[in-house]
Amino acid sequence: MFRSTPPVTPPSGWWTRPWYIAALAILSIVPLIRPEVPPLVDLMGHMGRYRVELSDPSSPLLTEYFSFQWALMGNLGVDLLIVPMAKIFGLELGVKLIVMAVPALTLTGLLLIAREVHGRLPATAALVAPFAYCWPFQWGFINYVLAMALALNAFALWLYLARIGRIRLRAVLFVPIGCLVWLAHGFAWGVLGLLAFSAEIVRMRDVEGRGFLESLWRGVLHCLPLAPPMLLMVLWRSGDVQGETADWFNWKAKYVYLVSSLRTQWMEFDIGLVSLLILLVLFGIGSIGWRGIGVDMRRTLGVATLVLIIAYALMPRIVIGSAYADMRLAPYVVAIGVIGLVPRFTDRAALNLVALFALLVFGVRVWQATEQFAGFSAYQEKQLAALDHVDRNSRIFALVELPCLSRWESPRLEHLGAMAIVRRESFVNGQWTMAGAQLLSIKYAPAKGYAEDPTQVMRPRRCRAPRSRSIESSIALFPRDAFDYLWLINASREHWPINDPSLKLIWNGGERGALYSIQEDAEPFRFKPVR
């Protein structure tokens, strides 16, 4: 990989046909067709914010419960896009269509990059397809994954314009492109800059024959069209922005995030697949193989992978109050390495087997995701049946019983309560708040201390954060006069309150989930809170 050698175009095959990229992109949206609301962990919390954003100024959402102030920041992707989409399709369908576009755009970006670098798609190309449903996507970091999808397609355009020699045109185009990617999410803009810089270093060395140091500074020079958002970041950070940057070099967490890059529900398969792909990338970078058996790594993407590895190692876990910053990058480090791979052998039968294997792996992931999302969606809608018994514009205190974070599969319920904002325009606890970093803030004073995220999250004692409340203590202590309903999401019957005259059961979801109306002028049954 480190020797400058003329690239060899991979052999052609059915996987190099024009329809192949489109077919993979279409296949990637199948798991999202059936669910009414895509079952991604944080997505419903974001949807609550979108409902406030789109509300009439006279709505109680804005007059009594929340404030929403637009601000220029690098985290506005879907917040901006949902404005026209909601007008055309409504909020829920608009969000669903945006989310459906993300895996498809992610795949087109990755595969177009591979085609630009290799000359045509290698037989291994579809091995990258499972990253369309990477862990940050499953978590519902929707602004970030949308921005990364845009950044990957932008990088493919960057490579194409360099290949045809349109460097000046590229410089002009990437001033607005860089700003748009930053506006969607600042982290993705940073990744785009690292990818472009890596590609320019290799181009300076291999195409123009520059020395190493000259390639470095010329690489910086050619990336200047991507720099304008740095001024926007300075303006943003000079305002009232809270949030610390912390937890550097947490190697245990970085290891977990890396092996969790394809985390879904089948732990052995998830870890085995990502481990195989990481091993192939390392073999490609190290040019490890035996005779004609093995894979090579194209220098452009090999250098990009190394640069992203360095960035991943140096990135803290929390950036400006935003948690899991390094986790978001982990899948893309591996994905960029995977699309840089090309088989050493040229035997047609062997290449057909490799391409079929890659397609089979993606087919299994699509089947898994389709079944998993359908199950999550059905259970979520069962819990959301409680909202049929809730008055519009009411006030709800929601508690969600959840397993420990160490459990491989997430139930995707952390922010289900926010659907009360979406469907009933009601106040519910659980929205994120951070001055300068969130467009939405909570102004409903009576619920102070019981209003923001993560007051809705209830985990078992063994993995509960210090000083956090149990379900029982939250039920005992929350201010009755600030709310109209108590909504226990996914809570088992053992946690349902009994003998409390201030709470009247008006709906239950069978063995899990209950809704109580709060009775005025009734004294709650006081017991010693269990902490």
Taking the C-alpha atoms of residue 417 and residue 423, their distance in angstroms, rounded to an integer, is 10
Per-residue pLDDT of the chain (531 residues; tens, 9 = 90+): 555 555 678 899 999 998 999 999 999 999 999 999 999 999 999 999 999 999 999 999 999 999 999 999 999 999 999 999 999 999 999 999 999 999 999 999 999 999 999 999 999 999 999 999 999 999 999 999 999 999 999 999 999 999 999 999 999 999 999 999 999 999 999 999 999 999 999 999 988 778 888 889 999 999 999 999 998 787 766 555 556 788 898 999 999 999 999 999 899 999 999 999 999 999 999 876 555 678 999 999 999 999 999 999 999 998 877 788 999 999 999 999 999 999 999 899 999 999 999 999 999 999 999 999 999 999 999 999 999 999 999 999 999 999 998 889 889 999 999 999 999 999 999 999 876 678 999 999 999 999 999 999 999 988 888 878 899 999 999 999 999 999 999 999 999 998 899 999 999 999 999 999 999 876 665 555 444
- Which tens digits make up the pLDDT trace of 64-90? 999 999 999 999 999 999 999 999 999
Residue count of the chain: 531
Taking the C-alpha atoms of residue 484 and residue 252, their distance in angstroms, rounded to an integer, is 44
The CA distances from residue 384 to 21, 378, 425, in Å, are: 37, 10, 14
Q: What is the residue extent of each domain of the chain?
A: 14-34+70-370, 390-518
Taking the C-alpha atoms of residue 276 and residue 124, their distance in angstroms, rounded to an integer, is 13
48, with CB counted inside 10 A (0-12, 13-18, 19+), is buried
* Residues in Cβ contact with 501 at an 8 Å cutoff, skipping those fewer than 6 apart: 519, 522, 523, 524, 525
- In 3D space, the residue among 512, 520, 509 whose CA is nearest the CA of residue 388 turns out to be 509
Question: DSSP readout, 293-308?
Answer: EEEEE-HHHHHHHHHH
- Which tens digits make up the pLDDT trace of 134-183? 999 999 999 999 999 999 999 999 999 999 999 999 999 999 999 999 99
H or E element: which one contains 326? helix 325-339
H or E element: which one contains 354? helix 348-384
- Cβ count within 10 A of residue 438: 20
The whole-model pTM stands at: 0.94
Q: Residues of 365-386 as b/e, b for ≥16 C-beta within 10 angstroms?
A: bbebbbebbeebbebbeebbeb
Per-residue pLDDT at 531: 43
- Alpha helices by DSSP H, listed for 185-240, are 186-206, 212-222, 229-237
The C-alpha angle with vertex 137 and arms to 133 and 142, in degrees rounded to 5, equals: 140
Name the residue with tokens 């190692």.
313
Taking the C-alpha atoms of residue 20 and residue 68, their distance in angstroms, rounded to an integer, is 44
- In 3D space, the residue among 147, 134, 110 whose CA is nearest the CA of residue 336 turns out to be 110
- In 3D space, the residue among 107, 98, 96, 94 whose CA is nearest the CA of residue 28 turns out to be 107
CB 315 within 8 A of CB 333: no
The amino acid present at 170, given as its one-letter code, is R
Structure tokens at 496: 């349902």
